[in-house]
Amino acid sequence: MNKTLLTIVTLGLLILFTSAYYTAPADSRIGFKAPALKLGNSNNDLSPLQQHRGSNVLLTFWSSDDPQSRLENMNYDRLSRNSKVNYTHVSVNMDRSMSVFNNIIVLDELDRSAQFYSSIDAQYDIIKGWRLEEGYHSFLLDKEGVIIAIDPDEKTLAQLH
């Protein structure tokens, strides 16, 4: 009896301690923790998402090859310049050329501090991790890094606390 009880208690403690270290899987769907974002060309170890940990983040993926995503990025960029917004805009460009990216920032009059370029080597992992195979999207992340909206509209962004 004592051996059985000891085994049950040991298993219970083992389950309790292992579950304390379990974190929800990352996925690019609403309600899941956002996948990692590694751009492959950063001078430091922090990705743009890690830099804004603890803040609401609007993460936009776009490319000059996809006019719709480029227009949405321009719109989100302009919205984010409003002093009353409760989120940080982080924009990731998926072009094959950094010079094209730099020219578009100037041409579209984008906020340079919010714009990031993904190296070609990192783009495959980003596309797979964020499920961008069929097109680019924007993701609204809460302060804990959980996705709360995909391609949010102005009304959704205005209601953010």
pLDDT tens digits, 8-48: 656 555 565 554 444 456 677 899 999 988 887 755 555 77
Categorize the per-residue pLDDT at 3 as very low, low, confident or very high, splitting at 50, 70 and 90: confident
The alpha carbon torsion through 139, 145, 148, 150 (nearest 10 deg) reads 10
Instruction: Please name the amino acid found at residue 1.
Output: M
Statement: 25-158 belongs to CATH 3.40.50.1980? no
Predicted model pTM: 0.80
Complete edge-to-edge strand list for the sheet that includes strand 115-117 = 115-117, 88-93, 57-62, 138-141, 147-150
**Which residues is 57 bridged to in the sheet?**
88, 141
pLDDT tens digits, 57-85: 999 999 999 999 999 999 999 999 987 88
Q: Residue 52 pLDDT > 80, yes or no?
A: no
